[in-house]
């Protein structure tokens, strides 16, 4: 099967310090549709930087990044933004919900982003479907302040899913949650692989990592496969 | 229906959400901008009203724009030609001015030479000329003993002059050129002449040089003609009962004009006839607006510059609030970029917010100015003639909207650039 994502020799050097520091050192990675994988490693090992490169937040200094076989490592920002909108969903450790918006409006934020325009009715239907998918449609009119941490993270997941991305990038999404709520969040994230969306999870939690199809270990900028799920 | 682009709609929706979420900040921005926009609106409205008042006064004295004024030396032969050509026409009115004294016969008027009543003697004594053409001022002894009489400029008209000079009625009525001429000439006074008749009790007897007898005038109305000299308007044909039109001339102090529309053949006919007797007329096309353009533009520029300075202070306020707001919303903007919002739209969101704030402020400033003007007109409209019928000028509203938009763009430009430059990766590591 053709890889959805293909990284080859990705290198990222942190400049602006006394000594330039290599954060990613020739990283190679293939991700297929519907696949789930976890990236683990110590703090500062480059996990978030790798996720930034994967999510087109940042450009690698060297290497190639193929998405559906197309080189995208040097895309201009305008096209990168379009790809982020159409192909990627993001979930972060901090939920980054806007406190002045309701859950539905927070989810709709990903639809009102200048990449095409949906009429209000269609927008609302998509938002409600995404909230339904993570099991919190009944909280659509609630503002973040009236929701628990787990509910807020599920709103963030609904926001990531509302455009039906092909790749979901999650950066320690359970880091601010208790174990039980974290498990529910991982359940919700794993659900997306069933429809062909690839899930890349950055986590410190071994149990959550173990639930992914593959575990990759990042150490000193070098990525290595840790185990293959049976 | 105009279909707005998705990006524009997105900017509007997010901008309005931002304003709703930060009402106090928006209010503070509006407060800082309000005085600036108000200054622009007030200056523009004031300039428009002043221009209107100035032009209205000039219309009274010189005539409305587009009027042609043919002036000529007051001579009997010229008068004869005018009376042969102009009476009975709708597109031209002959105006002949002579001196007239109303009151006791054989006395010196209280205002020799038709001086204004608050400046008696301002025009000196009437001139007398000998056969050789040498002229000098009359002595008081020659003018006779002072008595109860008023001197006015008597202006005889062949038709309704108000189509060229829109006199403002003050009381009574205007001359009716459609009725049968009266033996007792009907006079319409200007306000200065009316002041004299209020101040002095004078008999109703009018003497005009060259008339066969003194007349008994009827005072039928008062108008504002913008003239500081006492003046009385009369139908030419009513004067003709007492004095032939050819004798209704005052070579030393008289006036003889024909006011006409721009396209009348009267000009050509009169010019030809007058040239034939070597009386070259001069013709002036009234264009007060153009004549005053430079002065008005300069006046407006000076005041708008001052208003612009006040507006700049408002822009500094909105810029300050905008920068602080962007600083607080770094995570929001980074998140928006993460979900695919282009940098240009982020800048657009910030600009939309400042533009909406500018427009709201402009609407408020325009509303306050219009209400204040209406209040002033209601309270002082009766005592200040130039305020009568004044409405809020639309160009002041346009200026306010433009000022609001400019302030929005200037105040939002730097915050917009800053918002567009927020890196996603840095923030997502927070």
Residues B274 and B227 in one domain: yes
Q: In the prediction, which pLDDT does A142 show?
A: 95
In the sheet that A167-171 helps form, which strands lie side by side, from edge to edge?
A88-91, A167-171, A198-202, A36-40, A214-219, A222-228
Q: Report the residue of chain A nearest B18, measured CA to CA.
A: A100
C-alpha pair distances (Å), B6 with each of A80, A114, B149, B184: 18, 6, 82, 80
Q: What is the mean pLDDT of residues B241-252?
A: 77
Token readout for B136 is: 């000098």
Q: In the prediction, which pLDDT does B243 show?
A: 85
Contact across the interface for B340 and A110, Cβ inside 8 Å: yes
Q: Residue B264 above 90 pLDDT?
A: no
Q: What is the mean pLDDT of residues B233-248?
A: 85
- Tell me the ipTM for this assembly: 0.89
Residues B114 and B239 in one domain: yes
Residues B111 and B260 in one domain: yes
d(CA A143, CA A129): 18
Q: Which residue has the higher pLDDT, B282 or B293?
A: B282
β strands within B130-244, DSSP E:
135-137, 149-157, 168-172, 186-190, 206-207, 218-224, 231-235
The domain boundary, picked from B223, B254, B285, lies at: B285
> pLDDT digits over B324-348, tens only?
989 888 888 998 999 899 999 999 9
Q: In the prediction, which pLDDT does A27 show?
A: 92
Q: Could you give the dihedral angle defined by the CA atoms of residues B411, B413, B415 and B416, in that order, rounded to the nearest 10 degrees? A: 140
Q: Residue B1 above 50 pLDDT?
A: no
CA distance A109 to chain B (A): 8
Contact across the interface for B340 and A115, Cβ inside 8 Å: yes
Contact across the interface for A114 and B341, Cβ inside 8 Å: yes
* Residue range(s) defining the domain that contains residue B323: 6-60+290-428
Question: Which of A14, A81, A82, A175 to mutate: most B Cβ within 10 Å?
Answer: A81
> pLDDT digits over B340-385, tens only?
999 999 999 999 999 999 999 999 999 999 999 888 888 876 666 6
Contacts of A49 in chain B (CB under 8 A): 425
Mean confidence (pLDDT) of chain A: 89
With a CB cutoff of 8 Å and minimum separation 6, the contacts of B17 are: A100, A101, A105
Contact across the interface for A81 and B342, Cβ inside 8 Å: yes
Residues B97 and B216 in one domain: yes
β strands within B272-331, DSSP E:
282-285
* Residue range(s) defining the domain that contains residue A98: 5-228
Q: In the prediction, which pLDDT does A131 show?
A: 93
Q: In the prediction, which pLDDT does A11 show?
A: 94
The domain boundary, picked from B270, B285, B300, lies at: B285
CA B233 from chain centre, in angstroms, equals 24
Q: Report the residue of chain A nearest B10, measured CA to CA.
A: A112
Residues B144 and B227 in one domain: yes
What number of H helices and E strands is found in chain B?
Answer: 12, 12
Residues B256 and B339 in one domain: no
Residues B231 and B275 in one domain: yes
The domain boundary, picked from B269, B285, B301, lies at: B285
Above pLDDT 70, what percent of chain A?
97
Residues B146 and B240 in one domain: yes
Contacts of B423 in chain A (CB under 8 A): 57
Q: Does A75 lie at the interface with B, CB-CB under 8 angstroms?
A: no
What is the band of B430 on the pLDDT scale with cuts at 50, 70, 90?
A: low
Q: Which residue has the higher pLDDT, A91 or B288?
A: A91
| Least confident among B2-6, B37-41, B176-180, B185-189 | B2-6
Please report the residues numbered 103 through 132 in chain A whose beta carbons come closer than 8 angstroms to any beta carbon of chain B: 105, 109-110, 112-117
Contact across the interface for A81 and B343, Cβ inside 8 Å: yes
Residues B340 and B403 in one domain: yes
Q: In the prediction, which pLDDT does B59 show?
A: 84
Q: In the prediction, which pLDDT does B185 show?
A: 93
Residues B356 and B275 in one domain: no
Residues B280 and B294 in one domain: no
Contact across the interface for A85 and B20, Cβ inside 8 Å: no
Q: In the prediction, which pLDDT does B418 show?
A: 93
CA B230 from chain centre, in angstroms, equals 23
Residues B311 and B411 in one domain: yes
Q: In the prediction, which pLDDT does A88 show?
A: 94
Q: State the total domains in chain B.
A: 2
Q: State the total domains in chain A.
A: 1
Please indicate, yes or no, if residue B1 is contained in any of the structural domains: no
Please check whether residue B358 is in contact with residue B407, taking contact to mean a CB–CB distance below 8 angstroms: yes
Candidate from A77, A100, A113 with C-beta closest to B21: A100
Q: In the prediction, which pLDDT does B252 show?
A: 67
Q: Does A44 lie at the interface with B, CB-CB under 8 angstroms?
A: no
Q: Residue A108 above 80 pLDDT?
A: yes
The CATH number linked to A194 is 3.40.50.300
């Amino acid at each position: 099967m053709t890889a959805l994502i293909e990284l080859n020799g990705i290198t990222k050097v942190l400049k602006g310090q006394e000594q330039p520091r290599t954060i990613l050192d020739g990283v190679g990675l293939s991700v297929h549709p519907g696949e789930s994988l976890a990236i683990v490693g110590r703090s500062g090992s480059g996990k978030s930087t790798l996720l930034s490169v994967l999510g087109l937040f940042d450009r690698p200094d060297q290497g190639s990044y193929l998405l559906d076989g197309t080189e995208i490592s040097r895309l201009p920002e305008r096209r990168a933004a379009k790809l982020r909108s159409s192909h990627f969903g993001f979930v972060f450790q901090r939920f980054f919900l806007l406190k002045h918006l309701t859950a539905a409006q927070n989810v709709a934020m990903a639809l009102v982003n200048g990449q095409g325009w949906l009429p209000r009715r269609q927008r609302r239907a998509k938002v409600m479907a995404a909230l339904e998918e993570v099991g919190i449609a009944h909280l659509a009119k609630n503002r973040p302040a009236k929701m628990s941490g787990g509910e807020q993270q599920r709103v963030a997941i609904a926001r990531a899913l509302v455009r039906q991305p092909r790749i979901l990038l999650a950066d320690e999404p359970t880091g601010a949650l208790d174990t039980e709520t974290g498990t529910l969040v991982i359940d919700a994230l794993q659900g997306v692989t069933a429809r062909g969306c690839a899930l890349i999870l950055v986590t410190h939690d071994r149990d959550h990592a173990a639930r992914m199809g593959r575990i990759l270990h990042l150490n000193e900028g070098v990525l290595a496969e840790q185990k293959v799920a049976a | 229906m105009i279909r707005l682009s998705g990006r524009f709609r997105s900017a509007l929706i997010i901008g309005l959400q931002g304003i709703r979420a930060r009402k106090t900040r928006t209010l503070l921005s509006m407060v800082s901008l309000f005085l600036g926009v108000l200054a622009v609106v007030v200056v523009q409205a004031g300039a428009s009203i002043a221009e209107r008042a100035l032009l209205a006064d000039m219309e009274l004295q010189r005539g409305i724009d587009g009027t042609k004024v043919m002036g000529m030396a007051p001579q009997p032969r010229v008068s004869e030609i005018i009376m042969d050509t102009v009476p009975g026409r709708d597109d031209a009115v002959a105006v002949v001015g002579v001196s007239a004294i109303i009151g006791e016969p054989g006395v010196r008027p209280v205002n020799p030479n038709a001086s204004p009543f608050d400046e008696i003697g301002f025009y000196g004594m009437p001139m007398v000329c000998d056969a050789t053409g040498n002229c000098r001022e009359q002595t008081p002894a020659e003018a006779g003993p002072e008595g109860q009489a008023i001197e006015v400029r008597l202006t005889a008209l062949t038709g309704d002059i108000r189509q060229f000079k829109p006199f403002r009625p003050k009381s009574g009525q205007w001359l009716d050129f459609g009725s049968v001429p009266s033996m007792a000439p009907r006079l319409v006074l200007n306000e200065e002449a009316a002041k004299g008749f209020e101040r002095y009790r004078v008999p109703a007897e009018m003497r005009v040089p060259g008339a066969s007898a003194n007349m008994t005038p009827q005072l039928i109305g008062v108008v504002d003609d913008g003239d500081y000299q006492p003046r009385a308007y009369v139908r030419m044909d009513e004067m003709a009962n007492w004095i032939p039109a050819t004798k209704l001339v005052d070579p030393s102090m008289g006036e003889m004009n024909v006011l006409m529309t721009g396209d009348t053949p009267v000009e050509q006919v009169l010019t030809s006839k007058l040239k034939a007797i070597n009386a070259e007329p001069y013709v002036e096309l009234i264009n007060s607006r153009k004549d005053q353009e430079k002065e008005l533009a300069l006046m407006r520029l000076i005041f708008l510059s001052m208003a612009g300075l006040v507006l700049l202070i408002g822009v500094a306020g909105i810029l300050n609030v905008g920068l602080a707001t962007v600083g607080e919303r770094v995570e929001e903007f980074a998140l928006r970029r993460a979900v695919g919002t282009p940098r240009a739209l982020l800048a657009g969101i910030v600009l939309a917010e400042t533009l909406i704030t500018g427009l709201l402020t402009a609407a408020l400033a325009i509303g306050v100015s219009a209400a204040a003007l209406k209040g002033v007109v209601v309270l002082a409209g009766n005592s200040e003639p130039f305020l009568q019928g004044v409405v809020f000028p639309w160009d002041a509203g346009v200026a306010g909207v433009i000022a609001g938009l400019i302030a929005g763009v200037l105040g939002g430009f730097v915050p917009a650039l800053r918002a567009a430059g927020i890196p996603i990766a840095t923030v997502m590591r927070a």
